Amino acid sequence: MSEIRAIRTAADYKAALARIDALMDAEHGTPAGEELDVLTDLVGLYESRHVPMGYPNPIEAIRFRMEQGGLSPRDLIPFIGSRSKVSELLSGKRPLSMQMARALHAGLGIPADVLLQQPGGELPSALDGIDWKRFPLAAMAKLGWIARRPNLLNHAEEVMRDLIRRAGGEHVLPAALYRKNDQARANAKMDPYALKAWCWEVLARANATPLPASYRSGTINIEFLRKVARLSWSEEGPRLAREFLAKHGIHLVCVEHLPRTHLDGAALQLADGTPVIGLTLRYDRLDNFWFCLLHELAHIGRHMDGTRDEVFIDDLSLGNVEGARRDPKEDEADEWAEAALIPKAVWQTSRVGDNPSPLAVVELAQQLGIHPAIVAGRVRHETGNFRLLSHFVGMGEVRRQLVKTSTP
pLDDT digit string, tens, across residues 293-312: 999 999 999 998 867 668 89
**What are the helix and strand counts (H, E) for the chain?**
19, 5
Q: What is the pLDDT of residue 176?
A: 57
For residues 25 and 362, the model is more confident at 362
Residue 250's pLDDT band, with cuts at 50, 70 and 90, is very high
Dist CA 38 CA 317 (whole Å) = 41
What residue ranges define each of the domains in the chain, with the CATH number in brackets? 10-116 (1.10.260), 132-341 (no CATH)
Dist CA 112 CA 191 (whole Å) = 33
pLDDT digit string, tens, across residues 313-358: 998 876 554 555 567 999 999 999 999 999 999 999 998 878 889 9
Is the model's pLDDT at 18 over the cut of 50? yes
Average the pLDDT over 353-372 and give the result: 93
**Of 277, 268, 262, 267, nearest in space to 317 by CA:** 262
- Mean pLDDT: which of 91-100, 240-249, 383-392 is highest? 240-249
Is the model's pLDDT at 407 over the cut of 50? no
Dist CA 243 CA 203 (whole Å) = 18
pLDDT digit string, tens, across residues 151-200: 999 999 999 999 999 999 887 886 556 544 444 555 567 888 999 999 99
Q: Which ranges constitute the DSSP H helices of 81-221?
A: 83-90, 98-108, 112-116, 137-142, 156-167, 175-179, 192-207
* Long-range residue pairs from 238-246, CB within 8 A, at least 24 positions apart, any chain: 238/286, 238/289, 238/397, 238/398, 238/401, 238/402, 239/401, 239/402, 241/293, 242/402, 245/277, 246/211, 246/212, 246/213
Residue 106's pLDDT band, with cuts at 50, 70 and 90, is confident
Other CB atoms within 10 Å distance of the CB of residue 2: 11
For residues 55 and 386, the model is more confident at 386
Dist CA 133 CA 176 (whole Å) = 21
Is the model's pLDDT at 20 over the cut of 90? no
Helix (H) or strand (E) holding 266: strand 265-269
Is the model's pLDDT at 289 over the cut of 60? yes
